[in-house]
Chain A
Amino acid sequence: MSEKKLQVAALCNGTVIDHLPANRLFKAVRLLGLEDYDGQLTIGNNLESAAMQRKGIIKISDRFLSEEESNKLALIAPLARVNIIRNYEVAEKRELTLPSDISDIVRCPNPKCITNHQPVSTRFHVTDEDGTVMLRCHYCEKQTRREDAELK
């Protein structure tokens, strides 16, 4: 009996996002706007991992995530790893840092916030307070914990 294994082809040029928590994979796909990406995309979820029990992985061919885009990931998966691949080699290993400001991607949970009543894009100021990452709405000034942030 031959063993069939899923072969995830090595990437020639592009971006590999590894060590995504399994429950964050699809959020990451949405966050990075990959649903509309028309290049080759490989997505794996619930894969075995030494570092974490189950992980997700995204391989994006022929697209190099900017630092700004990678840092958006820090919002939902701070321990994810982003590798930029050029010519089959890891050209850059990127550590994620939380941006200080996040525009448009997170919803404000305050029903009385102007962003939930008028055509106004959301904006949050990100702070790390003794290890707890908080998002403060630029408009209504209410704070949300990073874990509770809802994507739009």
Chain B
Amino acid sequence: MSSLVSISDYTRDEIMEILDRAAEFEKNPNQRTLEGKVVATLFFEPSTRTRLSFETAANRLGARIIGFSDASTSSTSKGETLHDTIQMVSNYADVIVMRHYIEGAARYASEVSRVPIINAGDGANQHPSQTLLDLYSIRKTQGTLNDLTICMAGDLKFGRTVHSLIQAMYYFNPTFRFIAPKELRMPDEYKLFCHRHGIRYEECTELDAHFDDADILYMTRIQKERFLDLDEYERVKDVYSLHLRMLDHSKDTLRILHPLPRVNEIAQDVDQSPKAYYFQQAQNGLYVRQAIISKALGL
């Protein structure tokens, strides 16, 4: 059964297959290939952006949607186990897109479900469709995934998307630069991963003038609530904020990505630069999710 729970569920070939299909969908997003299919979106934790993206993806291919957007309105609030909820929805839908606040929920669901599960985010663990749309955006803007220099900035400790991207990029010989305050630096687990797979990386604490050689600058939001020491937060919050003038010496081919929503880590003046790609990145999510849903349904 072709569930997608973790990015590591896909082989390198399967990743490329998704990216190629997404490119086809980008040319032609409105089709009837999923007519007669029912897609269930079970969002035990609200996430309007991701849910709308998946629902649009299914709608534009002719599928119908059922589901809920908040656990408090579902049978979960009556104490029903996840197992039973999934069993019940397996009766109705051909594929389940699931977002849950508990880590491992999607993996468990994929083991008890009679239909494929697509993980739309399980706590701080995985969000594979985000990783795939990040890969799609990188390939589209750089023409390749191979041999790129990728800078990741902001909250690298709790950033689910950057952890996942590192793991997905390992097939493609990247060079990483991790730019973060001391409190939020990249955890050892991922540096070890790089070390073990021969992936070059370096770390620094300054953003300005430290990404001039980068092909991709992946920005993430620094959240105040992650800091034990609020003075430290006040000190660093603007250091990792990107402004237009910082792009002066960057490569013409640099593209700036952000999983969104952005707050103040990318200044509004950056939006006018052709290097700003974060909104197109979100748009790409639609086509990637069309490819993921189609693959899960074997279509």
Interface residues of A (CB under 8 A from B): 110, 112-115, 117-120, 129, 137-143
Q: Residue among A113, A129, A139 with the most chain B CB within 10 A?
A: A139
Q: Which residues from B are CB-within-8-Å of A110?
A: 103
Q: Which residues from A are CB-within-8-Å of B6?
A: 141
Q: Which residues from A are CB-within-8-Å of B189?
A: 143
> Chain B: which residue is nearest A143 at the CB level?
B189
Interface residues of B (CB under 8 A from A): 6, 81-83, 101-105, 107-108, 122-126, 189, 192, 196
Which of B82, B103, B192, B196 lies in contact with A140, CB distance below 8 A?
B103
Q: List 7 A-B contacts (CB under 8 A).
A: A110-B103, A117-B102, A120-B108, A137-B104, A139-B103, A141-B125, A143-B189
Given contacts A112-B123, A114-B108, are A142 and B82 in contact (CB under 8 A)? no
Q: Could you tell me if B107 and A119 are in contact, using CB atoms closer than 8 angstroms? A: no
Which of A113, A129, A141 lies in contact with B102, CB distance below 8 A?
A113
Q: Which residues from B are CB-within-8-Å of A114?
A: 82, 102-105, 107-108
Q: Could you tell me if A112 and B103 are in contact, using CB atoms closer than 8 angstroms? A: yes
Given contacts A112-B124, A139-B108, are A118 and B103 in contact (CB under 8 A)? no
> Chain B: which residue is nearest A142 at the CB level?
B103
Q: Could you tell me if B104 and A141 are in contact, using CB atoms closer than 8 angstroms? A: yes
Q: Which residues from B are CB-within-8-Å of A115?
A: 104
Which of A118, A140, A143 lies in contact with B125, CB distance below 8 A?
A140
**A113 to B104, alpha carbons, bound, how many Å?**
6
